Amino acid sequence: MFEWLKDEMDRIKTRKFHVVDSPLSDEQRELVEQSDLPVPPSYKEFVIQFGGAQLYRQGSIYLVQIFNVPTDAQSDDGRVLLHFGRTDMALAYFRESLFVPGEESPVFEWQHELGLQQTASCFEEWLRARCSAARKLFSKKEWAAIEAGSPPFTEQEQAIVESRRKFRWQVIGIADNGNLMFEVHNGSNMVLPFLSIGVRAKDGKLNGGVWLPVSSVRPGQTCIIEKDCYKNLLLPKEVDIFEKPDPEPEDRDRYWEFRRLS
């Protein structure tokens, strides 16, 4: 059913551009097939073939995501929903009252200011449309590079990776302008232009990152740096700040540590 997606994955050599759990084991497949929850057949088949999936990585986000286990939700008017996935702009749901065992079911999306609207007649239609829209966000040159994969780190780039491991930071307060205040220590022997950290909403509706300007933090020094961490979207108490993992070659454009010092 999803041969078009499998073919695309086979062509792409960039790691983490498409991330899937893996096909379900025989035991897991039996549990899914025997579940009392009458989810649409195309969604069930996707989960059997891929598990959960994060597709079309762009920056720090994935443009299309499908969960291997849907979660309960409720619309503003009290209708029971199943939250099965999301895009970069919307949350995707089934309406439980529309389920008919063995039949497909329409997909609804919730977007800020637009609310809940039907956007596809079934899961497969929704997935094809959202994947097609995601591909259009990449130029032909970018897509060719994605299919070819990333060259390994140079010695200088590897030194940057090792240097960022020796930086330490912690949030120590909130500035008068709403920015978060970070105490940053440079335990390396290099000066980096930026330090990439992760930022997400505690309710899961936002997952991104910011780049602390650390070019003034010399080796062995500790400095206080202010940074806007989505203050126009989230209150400080709604924000979760976390350490990002080591970058890999395909992450060059997502970690500002690799930018040149001005």
| pTM score of the predicted model | 0.72
Coil/strand/helix, residue 16: coil
In angstroms, the CA 159 to CA 163 distance is 6
In tens, the pLDDT along 203-215 reads 877 888 899 999 9
In angstroms, the CA 215 to CA 193 distance is 5
What percentage of the chain reaches a pLDDT higher than 90?
77
Domains in the chain (CATH in brackets) are: 3-148 (3.40.1580), 155-258 (no CATH)
In tens, the pLDDT along 217-244 reads 999 999 999 999 999 999 989 999 999 9
260 pLDDT exceeds 90? no
Chain Cα centroid distance, residue 248: 16
5 pLDDT exceeds 60? yes
In tens, the pLDDT along 9-68 reads 999 999 889 999 987 777 766 766 666 677 899 999 999 999 999 999 987 789 999 999
Complete DSSP assignment for 153-222: PPHHHHHHHHHHTTEEEEEEEE-TTS-EEEEEEE-SSS--SEEEEEEEETTSS-EEEEEEE-TT--TT-E
> What are the distances in angstroms from CA 156 to CA 120, 211, 217?
48, 20, 19
